[in-house]
Amino acid sequence: MGDWFNHIRLLGGTASDEPLAIRTSGELLQGSSATSNSDIVITPVTYPNPGSSNYFNFGPTIPIWQIDFHNLNWVIEGGRRYNFSVQGIGRQFLETEYSHAWYNHASNAALSGTPQQGADDLMSAFSHIGEFLYIIDAEEGWNKSADLNIQIFGNVIEGVEEPVANDDDGSLVAVVHNLNEAGLLDGKAYNRTLREVEQGIIRARSSLLQKLVVEQSGARLFVSVISPSSESANSPEVQALLAQMHHQLEQLNNTGVLRESVYNQLQNEINSGYVPHASVLYRAAVSLSRREEAVDPELVKPQLDDFQSVGILSAQGYTSLLEALEASELPNPIEFLRYIDRAQVLDLNDYSLDPQQYFPAIYQSVAQMLYQGGLINGEIGEFNLELILDEVYEFNQSGLSNLSETFANEWRTYDAVVSVQIDDRTYQQSNYYSPPISERDFLSLIDREGLVDLFNKVLRDQSSPYRLFSIPSFDYTFIGNVVSSEFGVIALTEAQADVYWERGWHGTDYANTFTSDRIAEIITLLEDIELLDHLSEAEISEGKKQIARQYITHPYQLLSAFKDVIVLFDWESAEGENPYKYFLEELARLSQGNFNPTDIDDGFDWENQIASVAFTLNGTRYSTDLVFDGDWLDPSFFEFVESVAAIEVPQGRFYPLSYYGHGTEGYIFLSDRQFEALRMQQLITLATDERN
C-alpha cells in the first residue's frame, strides 16, 4: 500500500463535532504496507475465489486490505451515533497530475449472509478535513444499498453510570422515533431522516412533515374538495371520510410533530371538507408548520443574527423585530421587511384596481424608498404605463369568437410597459399583466420581477453595489402557498444577498457589465460590422425597443432581439414531420443566403424510428444518416451542416454558441471580421465539443 498511498488517518466524532477530530494517523512507507505508527496495522484480506486470493470485482481481481487502529483511547457514550472517516492520501499516479484514489470496502447487509449490526443502508461523505458533506445511498447509483465493513472493540469504563435515552423531551430525534413507531416513517426513509436530524440537516418539524409528503408521493395529485354545504356533506361516505381524516390527524399529532396551533387549524380544514386525503393532510401540515416556524423567535434568531452581522438589520431594527416576534405580533414573515431600512411591504388592497393608477403609484413608492435610502441619485420623473394587448391573445381571440365577453376578458393578457426618467435617462420595462377575474385575484395584477428589473437597471447604471429583490408573501390554502395581496421588495448587496437567501445562490446579476451606455455601444458595434444589414430600419428599431424594455444580463438577449441573427433551440425539439428540414431552413435564413440548401430530404421517421437528411448545395448532393432518439435532435446533424458550410460557404461559417455551459444552445453565422469583433468584446461564447 505504501507504493500507492503516503498517509492514512482515522477521523471521528459525534454528529455535532464539526469537523471530525483526527483520532490517529500514520505515514505509509514505500515498498511495504507498514506505517510510521505502530498502532496502525495493515493486513491483506484473502478470498477463496478460484485462481486468486484477491477480491473479484466484476472482471479484474483487486487486493483488499484490513486496517486495524489500536489504542485509540476514544471515550464514547453508548446509544449515541458517531461519525467516522477512514482516509488515505494517494501518491502521484505515474507522470500525471492525478493521485491514487482511496476506496473503503462496503457490502449490502441483506445479502451478506451474516447479521450486520447497525447497518442502515446509508453512508456519509466527509471532506479531507472531516467536514460533513452529504448522506450517500449506494442504491441511487447502483443496484443495491451498502454499509462500510467495520468492527469496533472496546471496554466498559467501570464506575460510570450508563446514560438513559429520553424520548419524551420533545426533541426532533424523539419525534422521528415516534413517527417510526406510528408506522408513518419506516425503513430507509426512517434511517435517513434520523441521520439528517442528528447531523443538523433537518432542524424543523416542517421538514419532517415534508418527508411524509415524499412518502405519500404516489398518492393522487388532484383531489376534489368536499363542500360542507353540499347535499352530500352529511352522507355516510363523507362522514366516514371525515372520521378517517380526523383519525390520521390524531395519529400525526400523537407523534409530537405538530404544534398545537397547526393541529387546531388542520382540524378546521378537515371539518370544512378541504382535506379529503392523507397526502393533502401532510401538505397542509407542511405549509402551516412552515408559516409558524418562520415567525418562531427561537428558530429565526440565528438568521436574524446573521442579518445584523452583514448590515441587513440595524441594531434597532434587530431589537424591535425580535421583540415583535416574542410578543407574537407578526403572523407573516413578510412583516420582517418593515424592520429593515432598505425594504418595503406593498399591499395591493391599498391601491385602486385601475392599472393606470396603481402601476405608477407602486413604482413611485419603491423609487422614493430607494432615493431616501441613498441608493439611487438624480431627479425621479413621473411613471407612465402603456398597456399593449398581447399578440398571442389577439391570435387566440380569432378562434374564440363564440365565447362570452366575460370569458374572453378572463384570458386577456397585456404587455404592460412602464417608463420613467431618472437622473436624465429614460428607462422602460415590460411587465406581464392580465385583468383580475375577482376582487381576490392578485396573481396577475403586477409583475413583481418586472418591477425590480427596472430599478436594477438604474442601480447598475449608477454603479451601485445594491440590487433590488422581490419578496413574496406567505398565505395558506389547502393546496399550499398562494400569492396574497401583499408582497415586498428589499435592496441588498451581493454579500447580504448570499446571507439573506441562505444557500448563497440567488441568480441576481451584480456585475455592472450591461449598463445602458454599454448596451448602446454594443448595438452600434453590431451595426458597424454589418451584422444587422439584412434588417430594415423598422426591424432594427423594433429590436432596439425590445432591448430597452428588457433587463439585459447576457449577450444572447442583445443578439436575439434582432431578427435572424442567432438561432436558439432546445435539443428535445425533434417534433413534427420534418424537424431537420425546419432547422436547415432556419440556418439558411441565418446565413443571409450564403448557405442555401435545396432539394431537402428529411428522413426523420417516427414510425420506423430512423433519421437521415440530404440536400443539395452549390450543385453538390450531401447526405448523412442520423441517430433516431425520440424527440431529441442528433447533435451530429449540426456538425454535418458545419462541415458542409466550411467547404461550400467561403463568406463565413456557423458557430455553435453555449451561453449557460450546457453544450450547444444555438448558432450564429459570422464572417471572420464579425467573429473577431464579437469575440474581442466577449459577446459570444463558443460551445465545447461536448454537445448535449
Query: In this predicted model, what pLDDT tens digit does every residue of 8-38 receive, in sequence order?
Result: 999 999 988 889 999 999 999 899 999 999 9
Instruction: Give mean pLDDT, residues 500-528.
Output: 89
**pLDDT range class, residue 321, cuts 50, 70, 90:** very high
Rounded-to-integer distance, Cα 184 and Cα 216, Å: 10
The region of weakest confidence among 273-287, 331-345, 431-445 is: 431-445
Task: Report the pLDDT value the prediction gives residue 163, as an integer from 0 to 100.
Answer: 56
SS (H, E, C) 442-485: CCCCCCHHHHHHHHHHHHHHCCCCEEEEEEECCEEECCEEECCC
Asked whether residue 159 is domain-assigned, the answer is: no
Asked whether residue 676 is domain-assigned, the answer is: yes
SS (H, E, C) 518-585: HHHHHHHHHHHCCCCCCCCHHHHHHHHHHHHCCCCCCHHHHHHCCCCCEEECCCCCCCCCCHHHHHHH
Rounded-to-integer distance, Cα 199 and Cα 210, Å: 17
Query: In this predicted model, what pLDDT tens digit does every residue of 358-415 receive, in sequence order?
Result: 999 999 999 999 999 999 999 999 999 999 998 655 444 444 445 445 545 556 889 9
| Domain identity same for 248 and 376 | no
Task: Report the pLDDT value the prediction gives residue 59, as an integer from 0 to 100.
Answer: 61
| Domain identity same for 581 and 672 | yes
Task: Report the pLDDT value the prediction gives residue 140, as an integer from 0 to 100.
Answer: 87
Q: What is the mean pLDDT of the chain?
A: 87
Task: Report the pLDDT value the prediction gives residue 554, as an integer from 0 to 100.
Answer: 92
Task: Report the pLDDT value the prediction gives residue 688, as an integer from 0 to 100.
Answer: 60
Asked whether residue 323 is domain-assigned, the answer is: yes
Task: Report the pLDDT value the prediction gives residue 662, as an integer from 0 to 100.
Answer: 63
| Domain identity same for 281 and 303 | no
Cis peptide before 19 (omega within 30 of 0): yes
**pLDDT range class, residue 485, cuts 50, 70, 90:** confident
Q: Count the neighbouring beta carbons within 10 Å of the beta carbon of residue 380.
A: 18
Query: In this predicted model, what pLDDT tens digit does every residue of 412-447 receive, in sequence order?
Result: 889 999 999 999 999 999 999 988 876 666 777 889
Asked whether residue 52 is domain-assigned, the answer is: yes
| Domain identity same for 211 and 305 | no
From the list 157, 93, 148, 74, the residue with the least C-alpha distance to 116 is 148
| Domain identity same for 477 and 586 | no
- Domain count of the fold of the chain: 5
| Domain identity same for 290 and 305 | no
Of 500, 527, 543, the last residue of a domain is 500
**pLDDT range class, residue 160, cuts 50, 70, 90:** low
The residue count for the chain: 692
From the list 548, 267, 187, the residue with the least C-alpha distance to 386 is 548
From the list 201, 202, 208, the residue with the least C-alpha distance to 176 is 208
| Domain identity same for 332 and 392 | no
| Domain identity same for 411 and 437 | yes
| Domain identity same for 126 and 258 | no
From the list 450, 478, 452, the residue with the least C-alpha distance to 466 is 452
More confident residue, 242 or 344: 344
Asked whether residue 514 is domain-assigned, the answer is: no
Asked whether residue 163 is domain-assigned, the answer is: no
More confident residue, 540 or 402: 540
| Domain identity same for 85 and 124 | yes
From the list 127, 120, 166, the residue with the least C-alpha distance to 145 is 120
**pLDDT range class, residue 58, cuts 50, 70, 90:** low
Of 450, 475, 500, the last residue of a domain is 500
Task: Report the pLDDT value the prediction gives residue 327, as an integer from 0 to 100.
Answer: 96
Asked whether residue 558 is domain-assigned, the answer is: no
Residue ranges making up the domain that contains 461: 342-500
Query: In this predicted model, what pLDDT tens digit does every residue of 546-592 receive, in sequence order?
Result: 999 999 999 989 999 999 999 888 888 777 789 999 999 999 999 99
| Domain identity same for 356 and 459 | yes
For residue 450, with 0-12 CB atoms within 10 Å meaning exposed, 13-18 middle and 19 or more buried, which class applies? buried
Rounded-to-integer distance, Cα 17 and Cα 233, Å: 55
User: What's the pTM value of the predicted model, to 2 decimals?
Assistant: 0.77
Query: In this predicted model, what pLDDT tens digit does every residue of 204-224 receive, in sequence order?
Result: 999 999 998 887 764 444 444
| Domain identity same for 358 and 235 | no
Instruction: Give mean pLDDT, residues 251-276.
Output: 90
Asked whether residue 164 is domain-assigned, the answer is: no
What values do phi and psi take at 147, rounded to 5?
-130, 150
* Winning range, highest mean pLDDT, from 129-138, 215-224, 233-242: 129-138
Task: Dihedral sign for Cα 428, 432, 438, 443, please.
Answer: negative
Share of the chain above pLDDT 70, in %: 87
CA 70 vs CA 13, 32, 86, 153, 430: distances in Å = 17, 19, 14, 9, 69
Task: Report the pLDDT value the prediction gives residue 358, as an integer from 0 to 100.
Answer: 95
